[in-house]
Amino acid sequence: MPSRQHLVRALTIGASAVAVALAALLLVTIAQAGRILPGTTVAGVDVGGRDVSSAQRLLTPALERETGRPIAVSAPGQRILLRPREAGLSLDAAATAEAASARGRTADIHALAARLTASLHRVEVAPRGSVDEQQLQAWIAATADRIERQPSVGEVSIDPVTLAVRWSGPVGGVIVDRVASADRLRAALLDPDVDRVELVTSLSPPPSTFAHIEQVASLITQALEGPFVLHHQERRLVIDPQVLAGLIVVTGAIVDGELRPVIDVPVDRVRAALGDVGRSTFDRPAVDARFLTERPPSVELRDLSSVTFAPVPTDIAIERGVSQVVFAATRTAARIAELVTTGRRVAPAGVVERGPALTTAAALEGRPTHLLGTFTTAHAADTERAINIRLLADLLDDRLIAPGEEFSVNGASGPRRCEDGFVPAGTIIRGELVDTCGGGVSQFGTTILNAAFFAGLPLEQWQPHSFFISRYPAGREATLNFPELDVRFLNDTPGWLVLRTAHTPDSITVSLYGVPTWESVRADHGDPRDPTTFSEVIRVAPDLGPGSQRVVQSGGDGFTLSVSRTRTPLDATADASVERWTTVYLPQQRIVEVGPTAPSAPGLPVASTD
């Protein structure tokens, strides 16, 4: 057991050591007051012994260099050198200097030891800073967009000059976990000891095999060895290999439940490369079936009084209808892809066919068999009204009227305007003949009315002239004026009606071909009755000399007349159909113009010029 003397000696020595340590600590504290401990470095820069302000000035360029220190960022198949400032890292020189100054400044035993031994070893203080979250997320998003890829069945490329086919094998997919990768990169940016980081990704295997893409490349190579031919009837479109090379692409598609490389021909490429030539090669308009009827009929009817007409058998041939053909880019794309895939070189063209409005079959069902009705009227040759009559006749020639369809002269011709070739000619306006554009065509109205009359067709609309004109059959004539005054009739026969017109220099003929429903049609004219005498008007014409006169319009008496139509049916046991129309013709005023100084005739009124 130690003696009391030894214990006292030990306590004395310990107290002396503590006193020495305290004295040393006091001296060190005094020496280090306001200074960073010796041996302190930041980013490789020794800041020991400096005050905070001095250390901050020294660290500012050093920390700027630190934000440009590359970090290696890796991902599958990728290695990216990132400068931290690009991802939003910002280092604070003032905060870092304060952190360096805080070393060994606490009251615990470790801090005391650090202050006493500071000059004996070096200590690295991590820089203080922050990461701009928006800039970090933007860098992660842009990098992920470059790295990510969907699984690919492989790629095929064609050299447009040499037509050489190259291919690359299938690859798996890569998806970047953007949230986890941002967390990992943020931690690495704030840790100066980290100089590499790997993004968090998920991988998927290649969906296909090298054998599949190699087989597709082989089919394309074979296809480019010669031209393709698309045909429709007698028309052919040749697709040269150089054009074909620009049409082919390889895409992925599900085949037998698996994603495989397949040959595709996009419609937009076909439309751009072949649209014009395809349309010029294959497109054609529809042409209706046509009945080959006689334009001047085999018989002629001109009678202005009572007469009977019976349908005339006629052998009418049919010109076959032609379907519309339209080049279709979608169908053509499918045809070309099929040729490449199957190894063939010839295929039907990708077109759409649309039948005509009147097909050959429909024409056969209602083919006309007879000349049902015809009529001819005469007119003076080489007159303006003759021009209008012939023009209207040509407009309406070879018109087809379906069973159950109503025909309208005005509806078929439209307005008869001078800009369409019609010329001014006489038209009855308020009882007087004056020139209007398209005048005189009432003669056509009368002619077509009589053709429909003797064909036995229902007469839906017609109106006689206000006064009698001797070149027309009384009570069996019609006037025209667009749009109110019209001639309309109905095709109530079981077949098609063909309207034919013909003209000579001094006549117009309208004929209707169809399937008869009547054995004959007869017109019976009654005697004129209830006569009315015309009056005479004398009016001054400034363009006439004294004592001169001219007759503007000859007068004519008015009267009333009835016309009946008897239609005898084909069935001898059926009753005949009898219709009756009564027409009241007004007297046609006689108009005489005289010179301004000429005396008026005794007892006759004088009218001023309108």
pLDDT digits (tens, 9 = 90+) for 325-356: 999 999 999 999 999 999 999 999 999 999 99
Q: Tell me, what's the pLDDT at 175? A: 96
Judged against a pLDDT cut of 60, whether residue 606 lies above it is answered with: no
Per-domain boundaries in the chain? 4-68+91-129, 215-293+322-355, 307-320+358-607
Q: Tell me, what's the pLDDT at 142? A: 95
Q: Find the radius of gyration of the CA atoms of the chain.
A: 54
Q: Give, in order, the Cα–Cα distances in Å from 56 to each of 1, 62, 64, 92, 190.
A: 60, 10, 12, 9, 19
pLDDT in tens, 215-253: 999 999 999 999 999 999 999 999 999 999 999 999 999
Give the range with max mean pLDDT: 106-115, 535-544, 562-571: 562-571
Q: Give, in order, the Cα–Cα distances in Å from 59 to each of 25, 31, 62, 99.
A: 29, 23, 5, 12
Instruction: Report the percentage of the chain scoring pLDDT > 90.
Output: 73
pLDDT in tens, 243-299: 999 999 999 999 888 899 999 999 999 999 999 999 999 999 999 999 999 999 999
pLDDT in tens, 9-34: 766 676 665 555 555 454 445 545 57
Position 505, amino acid: P
497, 329 contact by CB (below 8 A)? no
318, 346 contact by CB (below 8 A)? no
* Strand pairing report for 89-91 and 129-131: antiparallel
Judged against a pLDDT cut of 70, whether residue 426 lies above it is answered with: no
Q: Tell me, what's the pLDDT at 431? A: 56
Q: Of 501, 395, 397, 390, which is closest to residue 441 (Cα–Cα)?
A: 390
Cα atoms found within 13 Å of the Cα of residue 592, Cβ hemisphere only = 16
User: Phi and psi at residue 187, in whole multiples of 5°?
Assistant: -65, -40
pTM to 2 decimals?
A: 0.64
Token pair, residue 54, equals 């001095």
Domain formed by 215-293+322-355, architecture: Roll (3.10)
d(CA 381, CA 491): 33
